[in-house]
Amino acid sequence: MNYKPRKRFAQHWLKSDKALNNIVEAASLTNEDRLLEIGPGTGVLTRRLLPIVESLVAVEIDRDLCKKLVKSLGEKDNFLLLQGDILSIDLEANLTSFKKFQNPNKIVANIPYNITGPILQRFLGTISQPTKDKYDLIVLLLQKEVAHRLTAKPNSKAFGALSVRIQYLAMTEFICDVPAIAFYPPPKVDSAVVRLFPRVIDTPVDNPKVLDTLLKLGFANRRKMLKNNLKSLMDVDLLTQLLSELDLNPQARAENLSLENWISFSNLFVKTQSISSV
């Protein structure tokens, strides 16, 4: 299907077989899966997914593209295309009369990179408000740098506030690199496939707002130690005490704390605050 890519909608058509295969494989699909695809575009990925799954609902913002896509895919009883903005569309309302497509359990998508953050927030939520309805699996093709940040381990350069925030909400896995030339037109950046398993948060952090603030300030200047970045929140003695309870060095930087460390650190800090305010 031919369609001139529109910049305004961040349209880059994926043309690499290898990348398409890797995405499909990463989704571990079965004939019971009900998929949600974001931005099907010309349908290259859609065509591969449809024969494997029970149903696929796709949300595409580009009206002209929607018309063409429906024509080119033809009538398929397990495919439903919704025209709209993935960030604002009311999926549940749109699916009320389409039983087969309700409650999709996986998302598979080559997303528009300009709205990566908002897409993650829509489907995972935030530390303060994790989404209630959880997908089993989310496979995304996105900007490589973001892929590395989402899947980074502590003590690495890519490990930042975004890593902790997303990993609080989902287990993340880096699947593979996808070079810019795998697309038409090639984006300015390289890409990568990641896989996210949204988690049930059994023991949520005591005060999500505090964790949020600690992350924001803690990672504000990556070269600085926590004791400097968090100066406005706690004095060095308190920080040293909290870090030692976590078996961490007083010179620690934000990137040295694992997700579990951040949760404990936040909880311990909240405790000291409530004691001192009694």
Written as one string, the DSSP assignment of 3-30 is -PPPGGGT--EE--HHHHHHHHHHTT--
**Residues found in the chain:** 278
Q: How far apart are alpha carbons 55 and 51 in whole angstroms?
A: 9
Stretch 19-38 residues interacting with ligand SAH (CB under 6 A): 38
Near ligand SAH by CB under 6 A: residue from 26, 35, 36, 40? 40
Near ligand SAH by CB under 6 A: residue from 53, 59, 73, 169? 59
Q: How far apart are alpha carbons 112 and 7 in whole angstroms?
A: 10
Q: Residue 60 Cβ, how far from ligand SAH at the closest point, in Å?
A: 5
Near ligand SAH by CB under 6 A: residue from 44, 158, 246, 259? 44
40 vs 218, beta carbon nearer ligand SAH: 40
Q: In 3-state terms, what secondary structure has residue 205?
A: coil
Near ligand SAH by CB under 6 A: residue from 26, 29, 50, 60? 60
End-to-end CA distance of the chain: 68
Q: How far apart are alpha carbons 119 and 230 in whole angstroms?
A: 30
Site string for ligand SAH, 82-121 (x = CB under 6 A): ---xxx----------------------x-x--x------
Q: Residues touching ligand SAH: how many (CB under 6 A)? A: 24
| Closest listed residue to residue 215, CA positions, set 121, 118, 123, 127 | 127
139 binds ligand SAH (CB under 6 A): no
9 vs 174, beta carbon nearer ligand SAH: 9
36 vs 170, beta carbon nearer ligand SAH: 36
Do 41 and 65 meet the contact criterion of CB atoms below 8 Å apart?
Answer: yes
15 vs 34, beta carbon nearer ligand SAH: 15
13 binds ligand SAH (CB under 6 A): yes
21: amino acid identity, one letter: N
Site string for ligand SAH, 64-83 (x = CB under 6 A): -x------------------
Do 222 and 161 meet the contact criterion of CB atoms below 8 Å apart?
Answer: no
Near ligand SAH by CB under 6 A: residue from 26, 49, 57, 62? 62
- Opening angle at CA 141, ends 138 and 146, nearest 5: 95
Q: Residue 61 Cβ, how far from ligand SAH at the closest point, in Å?
A: 4
Q: Which residue is nearest to ligand SAH (CB)?
A: 39
255 binds ligand SAH (CB under 6 A): no
44 vs 246, beta carbon nearer ligand SAH: 44
> Cβ neighbours of residue 3 under 8 Å, at least 6 residues apart?
13, 41, 42, 64, 65, 68
Do 135 and 123 meet the contact criterion of CB atoms below 8 Å apart?
Answer: yes
Any bridge partners for residue 198, and if so which?
170
How many other CB atoms sit within 10 Å of the CB of residue 262?
24
Q: Residue 236 Cβ, how far from ligand SAH at the closest point, in Å?
A: 46
Which residues are at the interface with ligand SAH (CB under 6 A)?
9-14, 38-42, 44-45, 59-62, 65, 85-87, 110, 112, 115
